[in-house]
Amino acid sequence: MLQWGVKWFVPEPLSDKALAILEDFRDGRVELYAPRIFMLEVASALRKYCVRGLVERSIVAASLRVLRDIDIVYMEINWDLVDKALSYSLERGVTAYDAAYIVAARNLGARLVTADERLYRALRNREPALIFLGDYALD
């Protein structure tokens, strides 16, 4: 869910793909998991849009209420995840935040969808479970 959760609320490139994932989730075709930090990352991204005058404060508040109602399974951030994420980030040259999502997906045996094309290009040959959001198939 790395970097694309905000696309549910703010029209951006690939928002159609992010909304397709949400629709697939609502239809029971996919499950959504994220480290708890996801909530704060979406809030931070929404804040950025608000401060830049691109989104009204009322939309930011409404978006968080909607996000709260989406039954994402949130994974706790514990020291084991942090240790593995830090190690991964140092080995692969990615941020600890990005590594936390990758490690969490590995722990679940799940696929990880990212909107970060640079991250995807850097890791696509090393992380077969990593999917670029632009490649998500719309029904």
User: Which pLDDT tens digits describe the chain residue by residue (139 residues)?
Assistant: 556 899 999 999 999 999 999 999 999 999 999 999 999 999 999 999 999 999 999 999 999 999 999 999 999 999 999 999 999 999 999 999 999 999 999 999 999 999 999 999 999 999 999 999 999 986 5
**Domain count of the fold of the chain:** 1
We report the CATH number of the domain holding residue 36 as 3.40.50.1010
For residue 120, CA distances in Å to 1, 7, 69, 93, 95 come to: 13, 18, 29, 13, 13
Helices 96-108/79-92 angle, 10° precision: 120
Please report the pLDDT score of residue 70 as a whole number. Answer: 96
The three-state secondary structure class of 23 is helix
What domain range includes position 37? 5-135
Burial class (CB in 10 A: 0-12, 13-18, 19+), 75: buried
Please report the pLDDT score of residue 67 as a whole number. Answer: 96
